[in-house]
Amino acid sequence: MPVVGDDGIVMPRLSTFHGIVIYMYIRDQGMPHIHAWHGDDRAVVDIATGQLLAGDLHPRQARLVRTWVELHRAELIEAWERASEGEPPGTIEALP
């Protein structure tokens, strides 16, 4: 289920795993990235490196997100391209 950011832009859910929810803004700009939420923690994660660009996640959740990004990097880039054009980015398989 998508959420709406503070700026009113839709953020569809890409995946959910281990209590972490991954979102991607529609028509987001800048370097390709995702938004990872775990409880009250929020982070922006670079798709190219898996590194946190902003926000904070506990170390375990940050490792899980980084692993997931590494496994699905090509799919994430395709999703980013779709979202940048205003299309739904789709969904991506969860981390087992």
Q: Has residue 2 got a pLDDT over 70?
A: no
Of 69, 83, 75, whose CA–CA distance to 22 is shortest?
Answer: 69
Reduced to 3 states (helix: H, G, I; strand: E, B; else coil), residue 34 is strand
- Rounded mean pLDDT of the chain? 91
pLDDT for 28 equals 73
pLDDT bucket at 27, cuts 50 / 70 / 90: confident
Judged by average pLDDT, the poorest of 3-12, 48-57, 74-83 is: 3-12
Domain range summary for the chain, segments of one domain joined by + = 3-84
What are the beta bridge partners of residue 46? 33
Q: What is the model's pTM?
A: 0.89
